[in-house]
């Protein structure tokens, strides 16, 4: 089996690539940075530039599945220019892949598994969302998610097996939102946002990587939520993080108006609430290694300590 991965050098992409190589699955990957192109055994990079519809079609040779993770990060200030980039980085990559596959006439032999986002679900403190939900959040993120999924669905026209994984808050010490939360808690400025009652549907980085491979290996199609079984409130998330880091929480909740002044429209990320179900993927037989926030955070930081200690030894700090 050989998989083509877009966004392979990002947080989730690295985890999936590593898991593929552990399982003996060959990986081709696409990158817009020529310096990141490697040619190793079972791991080969290819150049593309989606905004120009440019792609090295050799990347498709021998490929039986595509895992699409391409898209600019959303955790930075949403200027008008950057909002355009958030959307175009997702749609341009999909359009480039679609045109290339159509011209190669090999799509019907390929499984197409793409990242999507739980941000498509309406903002709610009370609802519990399954994949059957048809409502869309009335926000910039909701609009982006809807357009993103429309472009993903077009691959069905090529007779691909199409799967969308609506990913929640990915927990990892290597990137994403958690390191910023960690820094705040360590500096004694950690606090819940607004009421703190907004739901955060999270997933451990290892589990989301395993989920992509599970869907690939079991040839699943349709929509699946990429979240752990037990969502938590923002207040609970911050409390458990402080507990694991052994740091006290002194500050009261941070008012929404302050974060809006500092972060602008992007502050919506901190207050949006989506409580999302993982039951569908569990019914398919997927077993989460990290079901609750306590065990997930404890694992992440115990592994971080091991890695830091190993790095110190290798650097000669303890020699």
pLDDT by residue (tens digit) across 236-263? 999 999 999 999 999 999 999 999 999 9
On the question of pLDDT at 313 being above 50, the answer is no
pLDDT by residue (tens digit) across 195-212? 999 999 999 999 999 999
On the question of pLDDT at 137 being above 70, the answer is yes
- Distance in angstroms (rounded) separating the CA atoms of residues 42 and 256: 48
Share of the chain above pLDDT 90, in %: 92
* Residue 263: C-alpha distances to residues 75, 82, 131, 274, 305 (Å): 10, 13, 31, 21, 31
On the question of pLDDT at 232 being above 70, the answer is yes
82 CB burial (10 A radius; 0-12, 13-18, 19+):
middle
Candidate from 13-27, 93-107, 202-216 with smallest mean pLDDT:
93-107
- Distance in angstroms (rounded) separating the CA atoms of residues 132 and 119: 15
Q: Are 173 and 179 in contact (CB under 8 A)?
A: yes
On the question of pLDDT at 107 being above 80, the answer is no
In this structure, what are the phi and psi dihedrals at residue 184, rounded to the nearest 5 degrees?
-65, -45
163-188 average pLDDT score: 96
Q: What is the pLDDT of residue 192?
A: 97
On the question of pLDDT at 109 being above 80, the answer is no
User: For the residues of 274-298, what is the DSSP string, one character each?
Assistant: -EE--HHHHHTT---S--SHHHHHH
In this structure, what are the phi and psi dihedrals at residue 226, rounded to the nearest 5 degrees?
-95, 70
- Higher-pLDDT residue of 43 and 104 is 43
281-285 average pLDDT score: 98
| H or E segment to which residue 112 belongs | strand 111-117
Look at residues 176, 168, 111 and name the one whose alpha carbon lies nearest to residue 145: 168
- Distance in angstroms (rounded) separating the CA atoms of residues 117 and 149: 9
Look at residues 224, 23, 47, 40 and name the one whose alpha carbon lies nearest to residue 132: 224
Q: Which residues does 73 contact at the CB level (< 8 Å), separation at least 6?
A: none
Q: What is the pLDDT of residue 312?
A: 53
Q: What is the pLDDT of residue 310?
A: 59
Look at residues 252, 172, 227 and name the one whose alpha carbon lies nearest to residue 181: 172
Q: What is the pLDDT of residue 319?
A: 40
Q: What is the pLDDT of residue 64?
A: 95
Pairing between β-strand 202-204 and β-strand 161-167 as defined by DSSP bridges: unpaired
On the question of pLDDT at 307 being above 80, the answer is no
Please report which residue ranges of 105-161 form alpha helices under DSSP H: 140-153
pLDDT by residue (tens digit) across 34-66? 999 999 999 999 999 999 999 999 999 999 999
305-312 average pLDDT score: 70
111-120 average pLDDT score: 98
- Distance in angstroms (rounded) separating the CA atoms of residues 242 and 237: 9
Stated pTM of the model: 0.95
Look at residues 85, 97, 139, 102 and name the one whose alpha carbon lies nearest to residue 117: 139
In which band, very low, low, confident or very high, does the pLDDT at 104 lie, cut at 50, 70 and 90? Answer: confident
Average pLDDT, the chain: 94
Q: What is the pLDDT of residue 317?
A: 52
Q: Which domains does the chain carry?
A: 2-300 (3.40.50.720)
- Higher-pLDDT residue of 304 and 31 is 31
């Amino acid at each position: 089996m050989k998989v083509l991965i877009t966004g392979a050098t990002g947080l989730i992409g690295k985890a999936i690539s590593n898991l593929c190589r552990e399982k003996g699955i060959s990986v081709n990957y696409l990158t817009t940075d020529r310096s990141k192109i490697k040619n190793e055994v079972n791991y080969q990079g290819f150049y593309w530039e989606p905004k120009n519809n440019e792609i090295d079609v050799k990347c498709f040779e021998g490929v039986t599945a595509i895992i699409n993770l391409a898209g600019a990060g959303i955790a930075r200030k949403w200027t008008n220019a950057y909002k355009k980039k958030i959307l175009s980085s997702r749609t341009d990559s999909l359009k480039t892949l679609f045109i290339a596959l159509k011209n190669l006439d090999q799509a019907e032999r390929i499984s197409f598994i793409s990242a999507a986002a739980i941000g498509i679900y309406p903002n709610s403190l009370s609802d519990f969302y399954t994949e059957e939900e048809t409502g869309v959040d009335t926000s910039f993120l909701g609009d982006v998610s809807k357009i993103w999924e429309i472009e993903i669905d077009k691959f069905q026209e090529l007779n691909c097996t199409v799967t969308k994984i609506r990913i929640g808050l990915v927990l990892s010490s290597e990137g994403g939102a958690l390191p910023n939360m960690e820094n705040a808690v360590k500096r004694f400025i950690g606090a819940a946002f607004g009421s703190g009652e907004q739901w955060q549907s999270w997933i451990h980085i290892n589990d989301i990587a395993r989920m992509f491979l599970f869907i690939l290996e079991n040839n699943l199609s349709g929509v699946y939520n990429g979240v752990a079984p037990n969502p938590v409130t923002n207040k609970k998330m911050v409390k458990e993080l402080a507990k694991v880091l052994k740091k006290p929480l002194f500050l009261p909740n941070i008012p929404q108006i302050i974060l809006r002044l500092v972060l602008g429209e992007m502050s919506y990320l901190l207050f949006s609430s989506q409580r999302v179900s993982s039951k569908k993927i569990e019914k398919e037989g997927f077993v989460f290694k990290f079901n609750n926030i306590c065990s997930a955070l404890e694992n992440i930081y115990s592994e971080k300590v091991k890695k830091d200690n190993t790095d110190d030894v290798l650097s000669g700090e303890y020699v």
